[in-house]
Amino acid sequence: MKKSNEQKRVVIYCRESRDDYGENYERIETQRDLLIKYCQGHGYTNIVDIIMDDDKSGTDFSRFDDIRSRAKNKEIDVIIFKNSARLGRNQKEALDFVEYLEEQGVEIIFEDEQYNEEMFGLYAWFNERRARDDSKNIRRNLRHKIEEGDLLVKAIYGYDKDGKQLVVSSETAPVVQEIFELYSKSWGYQKIATHLNKKGIPTPSQSRNFTNAKQTANWKAQHIVRILDDRRYIGDYVGGHTEKVSFKSKKTRVKAQEEWTIIENHHKAIIEKELFEKVQRIRTKRKKESDKYNNGFKFVDTENNLYSGLLYCGRCGTLMYKRKGTSGTRKRPDSYICKKYSNEGAIKDDIRENYGCTPHRIKIEYLDQIVNAYIDNLISNPEFKSFVMDNVKAISTNKVTLENDLTKLRQALDKLQKQYKQIYEDKLNDLIPEFLFKDKKQELDKKIENEEERIKETETRLNSLNKLEDKEELIFKALEDIKKNGLRKEELSRLFDKIVVFDKNEIPKEEKDLHNLNDMMYNELYENGGLTFQLKFMYPQTITNRWM
């Protein structure tokens, strides 16, 4: 039975966006009031929702995900827009969305223009062209504002915003000055970050009280790099250095530096120009030295961080990083240390819970010896090869079973889809009544959905087995390559998921099974400290004695 306008469940949709250049004739609230008045005048009294998408781009159709879901669940009958431009400004997406609503039986109404299914494609094309032109106008307008020196962004760390002007912050500007001074005295990025952490200085996000700023966050080397790289600290305004990839996308790209707009002496400087230029010279020199250092003057694998991304601290779980040995009067060998310890220093519960760590320092020369010894043990251990081969056989057997299951499931789905197509043809040819078509369609929809879910689940399990089988082959290949060529980062990454470094009396009892340790291995590791090696699949561990 056809519903009356009073019975139809109506959704009112309103949208305004800065992208609609020159088209914001009314506030979004005015748009809402117009649509409510339209409903009252046409007998649509059952308004179930009013959606207010304020400052939402017309090219982004993810905003309709909830509408799609509600339409599929038969929760709405009508959706009303001000006009086709409020629906969207992407021709393909608009056509797909309208087609989907029609398939779900949802009626589309535009308040100030007639909805015509045949003409809608032309309207959608026109709206997309308008969006493209609007985007160009917006960019041209923004460019003009930038060239006039108007501030279009938030204040950077070290400054506050007063109207359109940047004013020096009495709280954070001294931190910026200290960063530049320390770097000019040969401090490194990470050393400066650690220094600020120990002083308890809030990070840039924390100082602005951003809602997503973590209270436990720390200064990192990247914070320091960004500040040292920013010429706005010498009073210059830098704008127009990024742009959207296209009017349909929110993604941005960095433009060539010669296309930037730079206005000198735009605001008060925090850093003297001489100090800024000195810092840039030091950074350039260090980069050249680093590039030269990594292009063959040192043993490649050692200097390219052989264990980066593989070595973890057993206490806090953070990655360990390589610290190069120093020269001069204070010599020390290259080693790896805990990143958390480097950032925060020693454990200090009075600052906050879980603050700091212990060094977990391990010399690279000892680490190489330990890893080589572990790999030699694997290569010479016949039980290891047997263990891997048994895994391969089990995986192969399970793969065959799953592949057969998948073939049967796909055949069943194909049969259901043919039945689905057939009932539509029967309905179009008036071979079956409407009520029978609906019942059969509902039954097939459910069966097809269940079959698709079973196929997806089986494919996931099969993909997991394929990855495991690949890992077995990669492990044997990695062992052969290491035996032939020595330690290489690529082979280590193929062999290990991670290598974990523990101090004495540190590993908790509950982590025994996590690292696949028997009682003897666990006791040795707890009493002496050492490493656990986690292969790409779990294998009983061999623990190497403490390296100290």
Q: What is the pLDDT of residues 181-213, one digit of tens each?
A: 999 998 888 889 888 988 888 888 888 765 444
Higher confidence at residue 80 or residue 365? 80
- The strand ranges marked E within 70-201 are 78-81, 107-110, 159-162, 165-168
Q: How far is residue 439 from each of residues 71, 412, 420, 451, 533, measured CA to CA in Å?
A: 19, 20, 12, 19, 59
Residue 483: both structure tokens together: 């035996």
With beta carbons less than 8 A apart as the criterion, state whether 18 and 84 touch. Answer: no
Contacts of 159 (CB under 8 A, 6+ apart): 166, 167, 168, 169, 172, 173, 267, 270
Round the average pLDDT of the chain to a whole number and report it.
77
Its sign, for the CA torsion 370, 372, 373, 375, is positive
Terminal C-alpha separation, the chain: 84
Q: Are strands 10-16 and 78-81 parallel, antiparallel or unpaired?
A: parallel
Per-residue pLDDT at 22: 42
**The pLDDT of residue 542 is above 70:** no
What distance in Å separates the CA atoms of residue 523 and residue 535, rounded to the nearest whole number? 21
What distance in Å separates the CA atoms of residue 316 and residue 341, rounded to the nearest whole number? 9
With beta carbons less than 8 A apart as the criterion, state whether 451 and 409 touch. Answer: yes
Per-residue pLDDT at 465: 63
What distance in Å separates the CA atoms of residue 415 and residue 448, rounded to the nearest whole number? 10
Higher confidence at residue 521 or residue 476? 521
Model pLDDT for residues 291-338, shown as the tens digit of each residue:
554 443 333 333 447 888 889 999 999 999 888 765 444 567 888 999
Instruction: Say what the pTM is.
Output: 0.41
Higher confidence at residue 291 or residue 508? 508
With beta carbons less than 8 A apart as the criterion, state whether 84 and 113 touch. Answer: yes
Model pLDDT for residues 381-423, shown as the tens digit of each residue:
777 766 666 666 666 677 778 888 888 888 888 888 888 888 8
Contacts of 505 (CB under 8 A, 6+ apart): 526, 527
To the nearest 10°, report the CA torsion of 380, 386, 389, 391.
-120
**The pLDDT of residue 520 is above 60:** yes
**The pLDDT of residue 343 is above 70:** yes
Q: Return the closest-CA partner of residue 500 out of 485, 511, 487.
A: 511
What mean pLDDT is predicted for residues 450-455? 88
Burial class (CB in 10 A: 0-12, 13-18, 19+), 39: buried
Model pLDDT for residues 98-138, shown as the tens digit of each residue:
888 888 999 988 887 765 555 454 454 545 555 555 555 54
With beta carbons less than 8 A apart as the criterion, state whether 173 and 270 touch. Answer: yes
Residue 178: both structure tokens together: 């200290």
Q: Return the closest-CA partner of residue 517 out of 546, 542, 547.
A: 542
Residue 547: pLDDT band (50, 70, 90) is very low
Per-residue pLDDT at 39: 92
**The pLDDT of residue 501 is above 90:** yes
What mean pLDDT is predicted for residues 9-19? 81
Contacts of 214 (CB under 8 A, 6+ apart): 205
Residue 23: pLDDT band (50, 70, 90) is very low
